[in-house]
Amino acid sequence: MVADAIDLAVIGGSGLTSLLDEVETVLVTTPWGAPSGPIQIARIGDREVAFLPRHGVGHHLPPHRVPYRANLWALRALGVTRVLGPCAAGSLRADVHPGDLVVVDQAIDRTWGRADTFFDGPTVNHVSLADPYCPELRSTLLRAATGGPLPVHDGGTVVVIGGPRFATRAESHLHRDQGATVINMTQMPEAALARELGLCYASAALVTDYDAGVDDDATMAPVTQAQVFATFEANVPLLREVLVTALAAVPQERTCGCAEAPGGLTPDFPA
């Protein structure tokens, strides 16, 4: 039987399909459909942690098919208030390399056609997303990452594209010129939906590649799916170490404003 309140959760990205041993799994149904898969429950110290593989067990859900609303809703139904959403990302900067961890603090949403809000009417709610990542949870994650096994960048903008294809060279140049640090396919609407439910959300982007490549440098060739999976998989044990350290350090009480972000409004269930 699951404990009354599971406060913490991790939504694992490509290749991160489990977090800890000795898990029990729970199936959660939501008004928004089924989440990506069964939710694994594990214990860190005296706290229980929920883990959900974003792309499903076996990675059968491409980024545009991830049931983002069901995932966040299911975690909240378990009592979760803080969510870490690590992800794979391509680098758009010469000083950010595969194997680096970027604890992002901004996002540009270039996705389209996704079910990206809980407030689909008749209740209307425009939540603030000026700062899409919870400052308190982000700083906890940053402290855990700093001095950890991976090189860390404090802050950065992730541009989120629809995928599943990778970017063209022209798109990659554009994103770089617009100030993005890394490129990914899943941070949105995940971060926005967490905010709509009053959940804290923070993420570390594990760099797996150089996106569309660096012109005139054959050592920085355009990304392939195999490269993303191989680099991510090679670094998963190190990423897991950072996440577990961060989860153990999350304060018991929230002092951020995430809980108040929805303004007391709750979404209407879908018809």
Q: Which residues are catalytic?
A: 209, 211
Helix (H, G, I), strand (E, B) or coil at 77: helix
Considering beta carbons, is residue 20 or 256 the nearer one to Zn ion?
256
Q: Which is nearer to Zn ion, 39 or 200 (CB)?
A: 200
CB of 82 to Zn ion, least distance (A): 7
Distance, in Å, from the CA atom of 89 to the CA atom of 158, rounded to the nearest integer, reads 8
CB of 261 to Zn ion, least distance (A): 8
**Closest to Zn ion by CB, 14 or 81:** 81
Query: Distance from first CA to last CA of the chain, Å, rounded?
Result: 31
Q: How far is the CB of 121 from Zn ion (least distance, A)?
A: 26
Angle of CA points 225, 230, 232, to nearest 5°: 95
Asked if 129 contacts 195 with a C-beta cutoff of 8 angstroms, the reply is yes
Residue 50 and residue 40 in contact, taking contact as beta carbons nearer than 8 Å: yes
Of the pair 251, 270, the CB lying nearest Zn ion is at 251
Q: What string of DSSP letters covers 38-80? A: PEEEEEETTEEEEEEETTTTTT---GGG--HHHHHHHHHHTT-
Listed in sequence order, the DSSP H helices in 91-132 are none
Tell me the sheet residues that pair with 87. 205
Residue number, 26 or 256, with CB nearest to Zn ion: 256
Query: CB of 173: closest distance to Zn ion in angstroms?
Result: 34
Q: Do residues 201 and 103 make contact, with C-beta atoms less than 8 angstroms apart? A: no
In angstroms, give the least distance from the CB of 102 to Zn ion.
19
Going by the DSSP 8-state scheme, the letter that residue 104 receives in this structure is: -
Which residues of this chain interact with Zn ion, rule CB under 5 A?
134, 200, 256, 258
